[in-house]
């Protein structure tokens, strides 16, 4: 694991590079999202990958990787936000120049399939990355919670608390408090790294997981796989984000998301919360991957506290 590096904080007037590591984004949604950032006082610089299409992808893997590398190397760019997720980012990971990224640390934001980029960059370059809303989110609708959390986390303030909004209440499944580096993201992507050189070291970590459009039995299988791999044995805490559009079979599986989580890891000794606003829902908190956080789950209003700012 490389020594940790914090990117510089986001200032008004910052130039934000937009890249597409996986799927392409519809032009109208991209344009709407760009207007949102421009109204906040930022300048959006569209990378070449935002104009490319190759089947479902935003160009060939080489094109997408080159765009990300170029944005890190460009000294005029202050931060990088991914346009959208979708399958395909795994083809980009071996082509990223982690030495360039380490030498030019910048805010890098995404979620969903971008989990692969977030974790690989943090592991191999040491750069703190950010699991948060992308252009596809702002291209659909603008929610103050998402913008406020994004700006607060990236502003350089210390001691911030991230709480769930009333419209997306988080639940405490096992009370307690924990501290450790925050790792995780999309459950499917986290599972796909098991047994590879990119597997996340979860020892002492606060692990967060989210997903969308999975069958309950598949969710159960992925959680069991995490447990059987040893990935849950030594974590400090577990955050389950919104698990959206989880479908049941004709013969009911018999457990909901919370029940599956506690069935798999209920005998392990760490605090567990669920339905936290991170992932594919309308409410998306910005979370610092690989950075130390605190999990407070002592009542019916669990929250994450970030003692030290994840940006410099």
Distances from the Cα of 226 to the Cα of 160, 177, 184, 187, 234, angstroms:
30, 22, 12, 9, 12
Distance of CA 294 to the CA centre of its chain: 17
> Is 210 an active-site residue?
yes
Catalytic option among 112, 117, 120, 231: 112
> Is 280 an active-site residue?
yes
What is the phi-psi region of residue 226: left when phi exceeds 0, alpha when psi lies from -120 to 50, beta otherwise?
alpha
The neighbouring-strand residues paired with 79 are: 16, 107
DSSP 63-123: HHHHHHHHHHH-TT--EEEES---TTGGGTGGGS-HHHHHHS--EEEE-GGGHHHHHHHHH
The neighbouring-strand residues paired with 241 are: 276
d(CA 107, CA 117): 13
Asked whether the beta carbons of 145 and 39 are under 8 A apart, the reply is no
> Is 117 an active-site residue?
no
Distances from the Cα of 158 to the Cα of 9, 144, 199, angstroms:
12, 21, 30
Catalytic option among 125, 236, 280, 291: 280
- Backbone phi, psi, residue 57, to 5°: -95, 160
The full length of the chain comes to 312
Catalytic option among 131, 210, 214, 296: 210
Active centre residues (catalytic): 112, 210, 280
């Amino acid at each position: 694991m490389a020594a940790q590096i914090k990117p510089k904080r986001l200032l008004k007037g910052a130039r934000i590079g937009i890249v597409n590591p996986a799927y392409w984004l519809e032009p109208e949604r991209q344009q709407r999202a760009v207007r949102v950032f421009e109204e906040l006082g930022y300048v959006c610089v569209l990378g070449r990958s935002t104009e490319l299409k190759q089947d479902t992808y935003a160009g060939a893997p080489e094109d997408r990787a080159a765009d990300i590398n170029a944005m890190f190397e460009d000294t005029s760019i202050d931060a990088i936000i991914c346009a959208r997720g979708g399958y395909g980012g795994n083809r980009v990971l071996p082509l990223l120049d982690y030495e360039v990224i380490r030498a030019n640390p910048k805010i890098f934001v995404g979620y969903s399939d971008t989990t692969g980029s977030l974790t690989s960059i943090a592991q191999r370059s040491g750069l703190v990355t950010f699991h948060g809303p992308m252009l596809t989110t702002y291209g659909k609708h603008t929610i103050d919670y998402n913008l406020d959390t994004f700006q607060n986390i990236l502003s350089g303030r210390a001691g911030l608390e991230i709480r769930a909004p009333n419209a997306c209440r988080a639940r405490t499944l096992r009370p307690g408090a924990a501290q450790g580096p925050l790792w995780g993201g999309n459950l499917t992507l986290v599972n796909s790294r098991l047994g590879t050189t990119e597997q996340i070291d979860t020892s002492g970590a606060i692990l967060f997981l989210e997903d969308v459009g999975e069958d309950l039995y598949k969710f159960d299988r992925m959680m069991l796989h995490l447990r059987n791999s040893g990935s849950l044995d030594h974590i400090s805490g577990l955050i389950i984000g919104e698990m959206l559009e989880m479908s049941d079979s004709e013969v009911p599986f018999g457990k909901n998301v919370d029940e599956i989580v506690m069935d798999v890891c209920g005998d392990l000794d760490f605090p567990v919360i669920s339905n936290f606003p991170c992932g594919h829902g309308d409410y998306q908190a910005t979370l610092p991957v690989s950075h130390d956080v605190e999990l407070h789950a002592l009542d019916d209003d669990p929250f994450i506290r970030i003692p030290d700012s994840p940006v410099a």
